Each structure stands twice: as structure tokens, then as C-alpha cells.
Amino acid sequence: MRTVHTVEEIRAAEDALMATLPPGALMQRAVAGLVSTCARILGGPYGARVVVLAGGGNNGGDALWAGARLAGRGASVDAVLLRPDRAHPEGLAAFRDAGGRVTAGDDVRAGAALARADLVLDGILGIGGRGGLSDDAAELAARARADAGLIIAVDLPSGVDPDTGEAPGAHVVADVTVTFGTGKTALVVDPAAAAAGAVHAVDIGLAPYLPGPRTTVLEDADVAALLPEPGRESDKYSRGVVGVLAGSGQYPGAALLAVGGALRGGAGMVRYAGPDAVAATVRSRWPETIAGPSVAEVGRVQAWTVGSGLGDGRGADVAAAVGAGLPVLVDADGLRSLPDRFAGPALLTPHAGELARLLGVERAEIEARRLHHARAAAGRWNATVLLKGTTTLVVAPDGRVRVNSTGTSALAAAGTGDVLAGLAGSLLAAGLEPLDAGSVAAYVHGLAGQRAAAAGGYPSAGDVLQQLPAVLGSLRQADTAQG
């Protein structure tokens, strides 16, 4: 599991850890990790042309110390000081001692150095940064992006907001970010995360001083541990019975995909509520499905998946499923018939456009502040909100957040959301709480999309569905091998 902490939590942990160490020792741990990543990426620092962009805080201090170490190992290093009056004193002294050249941001030499740099170290702002870059810093960042070989951000790309994942103004766009101690929201939540590039974490010994993380990024072992394991005595009821209220005459495929997602996701049984013609189509593909014309008449289930391809005019059925007092997932058209607040476990699965409609804001505003708006909706409806996107967010009403790392553009195809709705519904029926059901489903769905894409071409939702058993099988196998 990858952890994410707030700036406040990181500062408190750093203070506690620093109290046990000699002055400057913590920064030296960070610098050692940074330098070794730079050296590895450069294939050895000797002869490399490096430019350090240094702001007036400790982030600039890290970058200056790293520049000094790289100069000591034979690199040709220039430092551009954004705030010469506030440059980190020890870092700057070490940099000069190692033979580094120092220029101010407005010096023509700064532009020339950037134009021939193999590597730019972005030490303008770290976790102390607020708002976007100032104009002079923005110009240097743009030049670096246009001219330099590679940009490595120190701790996080300067100019993005550490705790929200928002990018309120000009910011560095890095190829790699070397981050210290724990993850930051800006490194996992878009749009800021898109500016971080590949993230390398450096252990500086902070973990014992950090609180349990509210935000996490699940990995294979976490997901495998959360997956319901069908035991020998399992029957169809203990594996979970899912009610699916999805699809319509206009969109029968949504019913097929949602039912398929539930069955392939491990449901012991699926009960489908919908018009006879659609039910017949569902049963011709999934003969094990039990069907009925409405939520009231379809029989007992342990969770409902509601809304994919439902079309208009099914508000009463949606209300019946939502009001059944069972865990419920609400997707797509079902989102137009939400109750004022949910009383029981609920998982909403909007994409940005649907969340925009729900909250009455522009879609661009959702994309710019994804975590903020997912949180707002989770609080407003007392439901866990799974906001789809390349980095899908799952936000519980109590503030816990899971960020999915397996997303792929291969999932940007019609019907993949219906598969996800069925899959997550099956996990709710198996007894997972909405945060677990949503984050495990997003993870598995992403891996299925990756596998389908690897098989060649542009995968369809049906291709993604077909990959679910293989993905679940390999996650379970790895778990068994480990445990």
C-alpha cells in the first residue's frame, strides 16, 4: 500500500524525527536518495550538464545539496536562484565549494544553461508551496520543459498544490519526481499528478512518526487481501446475491455488461429487474440469471446495482432499490434519482460530467478540483463517491480516500462503466463496505483493461469483462503464494 499524508502531518512527523537527529541529518537523507536517483537516471553523473532551479526554502536546499554532490561526482552544474536573498545558506555554500556556478533567474546565462542541460532539478517549491509559480519561475519552468533533456522534481513538481492535487497556476511539468518520507496528494490526484511523471519514493525514516494515512493507493497484495475468498462451504447465498437494475430497450447492452460484471466478479447469483425483452436478452447470454419485471418482484438480494443504461422513466424502481435498506451502487441514469441522503451503505459511480450535473457546476471545474468535488458529493449524499477518470478516486463520507493506480485509457470505451458497476455490486453483495468495494473494483477493472489492451487493438467493454476471471485468479494466486 502506498501512503499519502498531508503537509501538516508531514511537518509534525519531521519535527519529531529531527528532534532525535543531529542538525541537517534529515535533509542529508533526502539528498542522498535524490542524488542516487539522479545518478541512476543519468547513467552516471560524470560529464552531465545539470541545472538546479532553487527557490528560497528547504526544497531549494535539497536541490542545491544534490547539485553539490553531483558536481563532486564530475557533473557540470549551474544553479539558478529564484530568491538569492533567501537561498538555503548551507546548501548554497556546499554548492559553491563543490565548484557549482550560481546565476540569478533573470540572468541570460540561466537561459543558456537550461538550453544545454541534460538534467534540470526542480527545487523551486516543495510542501511549502502555495498558489502557482511566480512569473519569473514560470518562465524558467517553461524553458526547462522546452529545452532541457529531463526534469526531476524534488519532492513534488513546483507550483502544484500539495494537499489537494489542484494546479491553480503555472507549474513545473516533470518527467520524474523524487519524493521524501511519504506520498502527497499532489502526486496521486490529477491534474497535479499528471505533472509529477514517474514517482520515486525515498525512505527518510518518517514512517514511525506519521499517523495512519487517510489516503492510500492500493497495490496487488492489498486488493488480494480484500477480495472475498470463496471457501469450501460457500454457497450462492454466502457469495452474495446481486440485484441488477440496469439496461433498457434503448440500451440492452448495459444490462448484459452489468450482469456479466457481477457474475464474473464472483456473485453467487444475479437477479435482474427489467422489461421482459431485455431480460430475455440477458438470459440468452447469462442463462443463470433470475429475472423479474421490477425491483419489488424480482426476489431477495444482498445488494443492488442500479442505473447503468437505465434510460428515463424508471425513477420508481430506482427509489425502490435505493430504499430497500441494502447496500446499493448507483451509476449513470440512476444518479438522476438520488434520495436526499443515504441512510445505509451507498456507492455512487459518476464520471466528471455526471458529478458536474449532480453538483450543479461546470465539468471543467470538476476536472480542476476532482478531490474537492468528490468529497463534497460524499458529504452531501452521505455516500462513498467513486469519481471515474484516468486516476479514479474513491472517497468515503468519513474522509478516507483511495486513489486507483491501475487506470488506463483503454477503459475509455462505451460500456466499461457498466462492467465496473456490476463488478462493484458483486463486492457489495459479498459484504465489502463501499470504500473497499469501489476501490477493489476499480483496481481489478483497471488491470482487466490493461490485459485487454495488451491483447492488441482497442478493447471493447466485452473484452474487459472477459479478462476479469484471469485478473482475479492471478491476484488470488499471488496472495496464496505470499501467505
384 binds, among ligand NPW, K ion, none (CB under 5 to 8 A by kind): none
What DSSP state is assigned to residue 149?
A: S
Report yes or no: 273 and 317 within 8 Å, Cβ to Cβ. yes
**Pairing of β 269-273 and β 290-292:** parallel
Rounded to whole angstroms, the Cα distance separating 445 from 243 reads: 20
Q: How far is CA 460 from the centre of its chain?
A: 23
Q: Which residue has the cell 434510460?
A: 311
Q: Distances in Å between the alpha carbon of 115 and those of 63, 74, 146, 315, 477? A: 19, 20, 8, 61, 50
Interface with ligand NPW includes 37 (CB under 6 A)?
Answer: no
Stretch that binds K ion, among 75-83, 153-161, 213-221, 429-437 (CB under 5 A): 153-161
Closer residue to ligand NPW in complex, CB, 132/417: 132
Rounded to whole angstroms, the Cα distance separating 462 from 75 reads: 53
Report yes or no: 306 and 318 within 8 Å, Cβ to Cβ. yes
* Rg over CA atoms, the chain: 26
Q: Which three cell numbers stand for residue 300?
A: 431477495
Tell the smallest beta-carbon distance from residue 103 to ligand NPW (Å).
18
Element at 295 (helix H, strand E) = none
Closer residue to ligand NPW in complex, CB, 47/131: 131
Dihedral angle computed from the Cα positions of residues 157, 161, 165 and 168, in that order, rounded to the nearest 10 degrees: -100
- Cis check for the bond before 350: say yes or no (omega within 30 of 0): no
Closer residue to ligand NPW in complex, CB, 24/344: 24
What track of x and - describes contact with ligand NPW for positions 145 through 174 (by CB under 6 A)? Answer: ---------xx-------------------
Closer residue to ligand NPW in complex, CB, 134/164: 134
| 14, 62, 78, 122: residue in contact with K ion (rule CB under 5 A) | 122
| 14, 122, 190, 463: residue in contact with ligand NPW (rule CB under 6 A) | 14
| Residue among 368, 373, 384, 393 nearest 4 (CA) | 393
Q: Which residues contact 409 (CB under 8 A, 6 or more apart)?
A: 390
| 4, 13, 26, 38: residue in contact with ligand NPW (rule CB under 6 A) | 26
What track of x and - describes contact with ligand NPW for positions 343 through 382 (by CB under 6 A)? Answer: ----------------------------------------
Interface with ligand NPW includes 30 (CB under 6 A)?
Answer: yes
Interface with K ion includes 436 (CB under 5 A)?
Answer: no
Interface with ligand NPW includes 300 (CB under 6 A)?
Answer: no
Rounded to whole angstroms, the Cα distance separating 324 from 338 reads: 13
Tell whether the torsion through CA atoms of 459, 462, 468 and 470 is positive or negative: negative
Stretch that binds K ion, among 121-129, 193-201, 222-230, 257-265 (CB under 5 A): 121-129
| 129, 327, 422, 438: residue in contact with ligand NPW (rule CB under 6 A) | 129
Closer residue to ligand NPW in complex, CB, 127/348: 127
305 binds, among K ion, ligand NPW, none (CB under 5 to 8 A by kind): none
- Return the residues of window 172-211 that contact ligand NPW according to CB under 6 A: 180, 204
Tell the smallest beta-carbon distance from residue 158 to K ion (Å).
4
Interface with ligand NPW includes 131 (CB under 6 A)?
Answer: yes
Angle, CA 162 vertex, CA 135 and CA 137 arms, to 5°: 15
| 158, 281, 392, 426: residue in contact with K ion (rule CB under 5 A) | 158
By CB under 6 A, name the binding residues for ligand NPW: 14, 18, 26-27, 30, 55-60, 62, 125-131, 134, 154-155, 180, 204
Residues at the interface with K ion (CB under 5 A): 122, 153-154, 158
